[in-house]
Structure formats: C-alpha cells, structure tokens
Homo-oligomer: A and B are copies of this chain.
Amino acid sequence: MNQPVDRSVNGLIRYRLNFAYDGTNYWGFAKQKGFATVQGELVTALTTAFGESKTDFDMRVAGRTDAGVHAYDQVIHIDLSQEQLKRLGRTKGFLGKLNDLLPEDIRVHSVELAPPGFDARFSASYRRYRYRIADGEANKNPLKQRYTHWIKHPLDVTAMQLAAFELIGLHDYASFCRAKVGATTIRHVREITVKRNPADDNVIEVELQADAFCHNMVRSIVGGLIAAGEGKAGPTEIAATLARLTRVGSYKVSPARGLTLIEIGYPADDQLAEQAERARNMRTLDEN
C-alpha cells in the first residue's frame, strides 16, 4: 500500500505554474514598487482571482529575468491555503480566469499541483536561454524586432563558436557576472551553441544551458561572443578574460531584447527535494 504523501508546506498546498511573457514593457520579473513587472502583474491577477489582497502567495520564480528579457517557458510556484484552494475550483477553469485577468503579453500555460519537494527555483536542475542576433547576413524582420539584437555588419559565426567553447564547463564566472557580495559566481555551463538559422531569417541563435546563471551572465557572455564574431577577441582572449575573475575590461553586456528564457529543467519527482537541498547549500537566496 502506498504511503499517503503530504504535499503541504507549512500547512499550505504548493502549485506549479508554467507561463510565458513578452518582457518588452516590463522592468523585469521581480516586483518593484512603482514599476510594471511580470511578478507584479501575476500577483495582481492572482489576488483578484482569489478575492484577496496583500499576499504574494510566497511566489518563487525559476529564472529571475531582467528588464526587457522575455520568457517562452518560465516556472513559478505559489503556496495556497485551504480556503484559497476552495476558491481555485477546477484548475482548467482557473487557468482561463487567470489569463483573462492578465495583460496579453503574459500567458499562463498551466496550473498544476506541485509534486512533493518541488521548489520552482531550487529544484531546477538547469536553465536554458536563447539569444537572437540579426547581423549583416540576416534578413531584418520587423515582426521579430522586439526579440532581436540588431547588428549592421556580418558576424563570423565560426569564430563565435570557437570562443564559446572556452566558456563551457564548471568555472568561476566572476568576469561575466555583475558582482554581489557574499554570493558565489561558480556555475556549470553545459552548452553554448552558436548557429545561423536559415529557416528563421538567417539570424544567429546563441543557445546556452547551465545549472544556473548569475546576474547579467548570459548577456555578458553573448557580448564576448559578439566581440569574437567581430574579430576583436579570439578564443585565447576569451579564456584569459574568464581566468581573470574580474569584470574590469570585460565585454559589453548585450541588449536585453535579444534574450529569451526557453526552458527550466527539473529532475524526476523523487529527486526534487535532494536537488533543492543541493542548490540551497550552493547559492544564497538572492541569486538565480
């Protein structure tokens, strides 16, 4: 006989929400007083849906994106009380209600009871991002201008990929992170691919996957790769920058508009708690 599983966290029931947004009009994910943010919109819609105010549902996000960055498949969890659960009703109806309350540039795709041990942020085993560059060889498609970094001259994709190889692995990425006191900048980057996509206006797509990224890391890496593509930095210089462990003299942070969070990866359900424990020990609460 199976043991009944206690899914409650401090007496609350945890739900997982998958959602997407066009970040153009937001000051990033995280709530900031007086600014339109994705979290602000979500909390407003949820409080309206539940007929409550002054709660943030202990919302936690998997990838805290910066101002102007987009998400194709982002994840949060929220913790609901028994009273809130009653008002939730059938999750399918709730999903429709929630999307009606949200602006069109934020769409929730699913609302699901979270498996035991699930934490949107700490259980995540990887984050995957895509950066889109329309260089001199690409077709300038204004229907994708909000999601594209525009560069006039052509970039050398092979030089970019060669530079990218230097940045894969388990490293201290201090040279590519905005510093935060007391927080580690060690990350495990598992993949960086640079490809021209003939099926998508011939733009250059940089895809990056890591256990996690520190603040500004993806856009700083892309800045380095663009320098490589322009012939301003070779693999040796990129490797030297990484080894320097300081941001001075590093590359430009590429613009937010080109960046989209593509996917958050989670381990199998029975490893969620263990993964969360590992991540908590590695990183402080202020990091992503």
Contacts and interface: CB of A to CB of B under 8 A. Distances in A.
B142 A20 contact: yes
Contact of A143 (B20, B109, B139): B20
B99 A145 contact: no
A106 B142 contact: yes
A105 B142 contact: yes
Q: Report copies per complex.
A: 2
Interface in A103-162: 104-107, 109, 139-143, 145-147, 150, 152
Contacts of A104: 142, 145, 150
A50 interface: no
A219 interface: no
A146 B72 CA distance: 15
Contacts of A72: 141, 143
Given A96-B152, A152-B96, A105 B145 contact: yes
Nearest to A108: B140
Contacts of A39: none
Interface string A69-106: 01010000000000000000000000010010000111
A251 B199 CA distance: 35
A209 interface: no
Interface residues of A, number: 23
B70 A140 contact: no
Given A96-B152, A152-B96, A20 B141 contact: yes
A70 B143 CA distance: 8
A201 to B, nearest CB: 10
A196 B139 CA distance: 26
Nearest to A145: B104
A109 B139 contact: yes
B140 A21 contact: no
A260 interface: yes
A221 to B, nearest CB: 22
A207 interface: no
The 5 closest A-B pairs by CB, nearest first: A107-B140, A22-B142, A105-B142, A107-B142, A104-B145
Interface of A: 20-22, 70, 72, 96, 99, 104-107, 109, 139-143, 145-147, 150, 152, 260
Given A21-B142, A109-B139, 14 more contacts: A20-B140, A96-B152, A99-B140, A104-B145, A104-B150, A105-B142, A106-B142, A107-B140, A107-B141, A107-B142, A107-B145, A109-B140, A143-B147, A143-B260
